[in-house]
Chains A and B, each alone.
Chain A
Amino acid sequence: MDTLIEARNLSLRFSAPTEKKGSLKKWVLDALRGRVRSRHFLAVDDVSFRIDRGEAVGLVGRNGAGKSTLLKLVTGIVNPTSGSIAVRGQVAPLLALGNGLDPRLTGRENIYLNGAILGYEKAYLRAHERDIIDFSELGDFIDAPVRTYSSGMTMRLAFSIATAASPEILILDEVLAVGDAAFQAKCRARIGEIIADGATVFFVSHNLKDIQELCTRAIWLDHGRVIWDGSADDVCPVFGQFAALPFLSLSEFLPGGISDGTVPVVRFRNKRDGRHLLTAVREEMKNIVLKLSEWVCEGVVFRTFPEAGPGTVPLLRFLNLSNGVHALAVGEGEAAPYRERPDLWKYEKVVGHVFPVAAPGLVPVHRLARPDLPGIRIAVGDSERGAFLSTDPSLFVFGKPFYVQP
């Protein structure tokens, strides 16, 4: 497989002046006083990845995570502060739908102007002028000034020009939100065609469905760093849950250098039967096949200690080999029955270290089960236990609670 895009330790530092920029006089005065104050921050922070020919990679992340900046580094619009980016092949950037169109020129004149800006050869535009006009569905309006177009018409023309050829590398920044539903479907089909032609695609969208449909792989960026580079089917559901919880910072949602030494535990709920799955580390979330259709991430529910400490017991997770359902055992005492049946129960891991008895500042975690279904539900705190029991009367509390840091 040959690599078309390779980023190595890519960083971009912005120096945003703390005060508004603009005046020469002020700058000279400040420079003389030795205080051109600016705040540095890394818009892209030590990012490394490789994209091979024919791969379709989605880029996800919250607003301001550095997605667009990373695309600008890939297209060469900005240069990295450190690290390197190598791009081999013709890049067609669809970052600028409509930006290259001049409202004062007619649609036809804009085909040539915007085409030239996007890097097409004149002869190619001549040969494909008809196709572009046909695809845009503008008909006779093509000879009217673009300022008379509706915004949908403008975007249709821009999309038609931008995708007039199948490039080796296609960079898409939120471009599928073009025009009406029928035209959007046409756009998707065209992008699919370009991918089928063997193009390598780098795709930013807030629509995770589009990413899962078009991309095989997804890269999750947060504060300029790569959080997770994996299969789109793995990354998108987890990111989707994170994106839906805007009040949680990433360090709360996913462990990563937590200062007090505890590890957050993330709870997943099965959509079909409501059973829960607890997991502590990010690496494991990558490995667990969490199908979007089956599991819902409920975020961080409590914290555990990564190492055994005074008064703690391990929280062990077992997998039932016959039905794929997990069980939790508090301490080795509870784990003994599972360990006796290695043909049925597979020991998976220690989720974390928890307290077996109540103490100030700790909350109880209850395990609940139903007689007719395998699997358990995890209720954090007595109020959640009450809520679960009242919504589903056939649930019963299973075993003793364990105690954790909230």
Chain B
Amino acid sequence: MQATPSQPDSPCRPYRRPGFVHDGFLVAELVKRDFKARYDRSVLGMFWCVLQPTLTMGLLYAVFSLFFRHSIPNFPLYLISGIVFYQFFVETTTTAMQSIQENAALIAKVKVPLWTYPVTRAVSSLINFLFALVPLFCVVLLTRAPLRPTMLLLFYSTASMLVFALGVGLFLAALAVFFHDVKFLWGFACMLCMYATPIFYPEKVLMQGHHWMVYFNPIYHMIHFSRLALNGQVPTATEFAACAVFALLSIVAGTLVFRSLKNKFALAL
């Protein structure tokens, strides 16, 4: 039965069909809202997307260049690639985690596919990340590092990071509905992750006797992969596989948890 209840003069269908594909418009509008709302009433507006990673990098460079300038070739690039990817991970997971709670009023009233909320946050973070690549490539140019074809492999590590972070975000979002503590715990976990991952210190530091901390750290693999690509090296098959495995494990686990709990959100909020 295809009787569309729209006014006879309207040529188009009023309501979207249910399904993954047809929710694109919704996600697009939610992402737009994210950006407009985030930079509402700020003078620099979207410019902050670029400014924020630049400032962080500047600060960390000022502090840590004293220690590690000589042990790491092209320390500025090493530092900013670490920061940009780490920030991408933190932003995606943190905002996705809060997405269900922050839209509680809406979720309790309007039937919208619930996955759109965390996915929207992941897309917003991805766009932010792409802006943050501007200062990264500025550093590439300023340090006179050559532009190499292997840099295209950044697409691979970015995609792995996106999928991995979204999986974690889905898991956290579902959990945060029932236990608000998750928000605070995750803030701590992110800090832990920053120190456990070679972002501003050389990888050698952890390789001495703490191999496991590196091998089982998904963030490390994705950042390491990106740095290889930026330096013109082709990562080994193991490195390709590590990124993919962590991303897949995370998205599968996250989706399963989210799906099994999502029917309880409306009542728990």
Contacts and interface: CB of A to CB of B under 8 A. Distances in A.
Interface of A: 14, 22-25, 27, 72, 75-79, 90-93, 95-96, 99-100, 102, 104-105, 109, 112-113, 115-124, 127-128, 145, 164-168, 197-199
29 contacts: A23-B181, A75-B110, A76-B111, A78-B266, A78-B267, A90-B15, A93-B111, A95-B109, A96-B109, A96-B110, A102-B36, A104-B36, A105-B33, A105-B36, A109-B36, A113-B29, A116-B30, A117-B106, A119-B15, A119-B16, A119-B112, A120-B15, A121-B12, A121-B14, A121-B25, A124-B10, A124-B13, A165-B5, A165-B7
A121 B26 contact: no
Interface residues of B, number: 37
Contacts of B37: 102, 104-105
Given A22-B180, A105-B33, A117 B14 contact: no
Contacts of B29: 112-113, 115-117
Interface of B: 5-7, 10-16, 25-26, 28-30, 32-33, 36-37, 40-41, 105-112, 179-182, 185, 263, 266-267
Contact of B5 (A72, A90, A122, A128): A90
Most buried by B among A25, A72, A91, A117: A117
A323 B263 CA distance: 59
A115 B26 CA distance: 9
Contacts of B181: 22-25
Given A105-B33, A117-B112, A99 B15 contact: no
B6 A116 contact: no
A182 to B, nearest CB: 24
Query: Which of B16, B108, B179, B267: most chain A CB closer than 10 A?
Result: B267
Given A27-B179, A78-B267, A99 B110 contact: yes
Contacts of A95: 109-110
A127 B10 contact: yes
A120 B16 CA distance: 6
Nearest to B41: A104
A166 B25 contact: no
Contacts of A93: 109-111
B5 A197 contact: yes
Contacts of B7: 165-166
Given A109-B32, A116-B29, A121-B16, A127 B11 contact: yes
Contact of A116 (B26, B180, B185): B26
B13 A121 contact: yes
A197 B181 CA distance: 50
